[in-house]
Amino acid sequence: MEADVRQFLTVLESERRVSRHTLTAYRRDLTRVMHFCRSIGMVRWAELTDTTIRQYIGERRQCGISARSLQRELSALRGLLDFLVKCRRIHDNPARRIKSPKPSRRLPGGLNVEEVTALLARRPESALEYRDHAMWELFYSSGLRLGELVGLDCADLDLREGLVQVRSGKGGKSRLVPVGRYARKAVAAWLKVRERWAGVDEPALFVNRYGSRISPRGVQQRLARWARLSGLEKKLHPHILRHSFASHLLEASGNLRAVQELLGHADIATTQIYTHLDFQHLADVYDRAHPRAKRRK
């Protein structure tokens, strides 16, 4: 069983080019399933049945594991068993007959326009704060994921045209995203001082104080510090800026398909979570758009 998992993960990494984070999660999930199988006397994946998988899911639920985590674990198991079917090591994939538990619909948190303005209004006071300010502006301007931002190289940015090429998108997909005027100005200011930290051979757009590519954890820590210095009481993480980008753009434009492309979502259903707008906004749209809906003031 372990050898099958190792080969499956190698294929994911070399042929499908999945992210390191996904590989780590799949390895952890499949190891957990293996331990369960051994606890009930199973030694081959071919022995796995619908009943066994339901038993495993039931035990995980009793441990308080969320539906979202169980979805990921089932996805990892389905992927492995599909691989083994393709290699003709097993004849059937029983995980395909197991319905994934539905997670509760959780709306993404975000900042309103005034809060974003307050966050970005703080002026940099050091060279590294010019870097930080450029990162926050780029997050909000282009709706980048954290991994996409730290993966940017200087060559990916075209300030003249106002575009950034995202090459490290989810699922290995790349996309071209606009960069707004404020973000271009902030990035240009950072580039003027970047050479103080980055070596001539360092391609990364955003580097740490040691001159190498900044880590996701480093970005999270700097944003928390920036929010605190800006007087915001909310606990911020980088994805909140992406959520705010999506919510504000969708609310102003109503163009779900365009927002999907900008966010790099493979499925428009993922983008639709941002269509949950507050009632007052919906009422205002209703009043303006419906010919027989003009309500009395």
Residue 234 maps to which CATH number?
1.10.443.10
Residue 119 domain-assigned? yes
Residue 266 domain-assigned? yes
- What are the CB-based long-range contacts (under 8 Å, 24+) for 167-171? 169/145, 169/264, 170/19, 170/145, 170/264, 170/266, 171/18, 171/266
Whether 92 and 24 share a structural domain: yes
Q: Catalytic: 276?
A: no
The average pLDDT across 223-251 equals: 85
Range of the domain at 48: 2-97
Residue 286 domain-assigned? no
Whether 132 and 88 share a structural domain: no
- Active-site hit among 60, 131, 145, 184: 145
Residue 106 domain-assigned? no
Q: Catalytic: 239?
A: yes
Q: Which of 28-32, 45-49, 198-202, 258-262 has the lowest mean pLDDT?
A: 258-262
Q: Catalytic: 242?
A: yes
- Active-site hit among 122, 170, 213, 237: 170
Residue 51 domain-assigned? yes
Whether 88 and 120 share a structural domain: no
Q: Catalytic: 265?
A: yes
Sign of the dihedral defined by the CA atoms of residues 240, 242, 246, 251, in that order: positive
**Domain tally, the chain:** 2
Whole-model pTM: value is 0.60
Whether 223 and 138 share a structural domain: yes
The CATH number of whichever domain residue 69 belongs to comes to 1.10.150.130
Residue 108 domain-assigned? no
Whether 233 has a pLDDT exceeding 60, the answer reads yes
Whether 67 has a pLDDT exceeding 50, the answer reads yes
The average pLDDT across 227-236 equals: 85
